[in-house]
Amino acid sequence: MTAQLIDGKAIAQKVQNEVKEKVTARVAAGKSQPGLATVLVGERVDSATYIRMKQKACDNLGMNSFHRPLPEDVSQEELDKLIKELNADKKVNGILIQLPLPDHLDEERALQLVNIEKDVDGFSPINLGRLAQKGREPLFVPCTPYGCIYLLKEVGVEISGANAVVLGRSNIVGMPAALLLIKENATVTVVHSRTKNTPDIVRQADIIIAAIGKREFVRGDWIKPGAAVIDVGINEMPDSSKKRGYRLVGDVNFEEAKKVAGHITPVPGGVGPMTIAMLMANTLHAAEIQE
Ligand code: GUN
């Protein structure tokens, strides 16, 4: 059996096209252009790349982006001041603080300061708390987990009643992905660095979301035949045939997994483009609720 490939790039493009149409209609109706503020502290190369991709997506969809870089050694007071300023700025509908922040800064405090109506990353404790509670709805769902669930739905994977295994418990992906799957009525197990029998637990899963940042960690013989595999990992694998000396691989051994899984996302071209598409959808939603 060969798994059906989940084309994240194409699905993300479809989401972006829908957002663009709505933005165009908004502006034609005399409403404001949605605006996203991006805050980058320091000069991490990966973070700077992600920010550029987010700004470019805003440009392509007719949204405003406001980039607010801060030096690596910025004080907590200066960061707090910027967040408050962005909270008060009517042109800014969404605020994204690129993570991780340098160690001397208090991430929890910064995320807590973001107005929940502008929290397009869904990382404020209020939005995350609502995600964790029955009968409550967050204003925004974190973009990567939101993208993972969107992909599953798009290809017709039944989430309700499914056994789902999430590998990893990060604040950005693993934990909110598990909460979102519970909201969608899956039965969820989270495995992590202290889990004792990971392969046996993964073998029970109808849905696997791998977000641990270990290249090709999940092997083909851990996968239940027909399972849906969503690979969030982006890892470098040394490869002398490539000009840059490496290729990108996920947290799942793709060649093994595709022989067993029912659906699988590639890396790159799976979850990655969805994160940006969902951020754009969240930014449009922010503009809509702030009218
Ligand atoms: N760092 C890695 N992923 C993300 C994300 O989705 N949002 C933010 N703000 N920072 C990140």
Average of pLDDT values for 85-106? 98
Q: Which of 70, 86, 98 to mutate to test the pocket of ligand 1 (most atoms within 8 A of CB)?
A: 98
pLDDT of 21 reads 98
pLDDT of 218 reads 98
pLDDT higher than threshold 80 for residue 102: yes
Q: Look at the alpha carbons of 158, 161, 167, 173 in this order and tell me if their dihedral is positive or negative.
A: positive
Residue with the nearest Cα to atom 4 of ligand 1?
99
Q: pLDDT class for 90, splitting at 50, 70, 90?
A: very high
Could you read off the pLDDT of 152-190 as tens digits, one per residue? Answer: 999 999 999 999 999 999 999 999 999 999 999 999 999
CA angle in degrees (0–180, nearest 5) for 202-204-207: 70
pTM of the entire predicted model = 0.97
Could you read off the pLDDT of 197-245 as tens digits, one per residue? Answer: 999 999 999 999 999 999 999 999 999 999 999 999 999 999 999 999 9
Q: Could you tell me which of 249, 131, 149 has the C-alpha nearest to residue 207?
A: 149
CA distance 25 to 277: 18
Give the Å distance between the CA of 73 and the centre of ligand 1: 20
Could you read off the pLDDT of 37-54 as tens digits, one per residue? Answer: 999 999 999 999 999 999
Give the Å distance between the CA of 275 and the centre of ligand 1: 9
Could you read off the pLDDT of 130-153 as tens digits, one per residue? Answer: 999 999 999 999 999 999 999 999
Atom of ligand 1 minimally distant from the CA of 100: 1
pLDDT of 177 reads 98
Q: Which of 36, 39, 50 to mutate to test the pocket of ligand 1 (most atoms within 8 A of CB)?
A: 50
pLDDT of 95 reads 98
pLDDT of 61 reads 98
Q: Domains in the chain and their CATH numbers? A: 33-118 (3.40.50.10860), 142-271 (3.40.50.720)
Select which of 7, 22, 54, 231 is catalytic. 54
Residue with the nearest Cα to atom 1 of ligand 1?
99
Average of pLDDT values for 247-275? 98
CA distance 250 to 217: 8
Percent of the chain beyond pLDDT 90?
99
pLDDT of 1 reads 63
| 276 close to 8: Cβ distance less than 8 angstroms | no
Give the Å distance between the CA of 27 and the centre of ligand 1: 28
Pocket of ligand 1 (CB under 6 A): 96-99, 121, 143-144, 172, 275
Confirm whether 20 is a catalytic residue: no
CA distance 278 to 123: 14
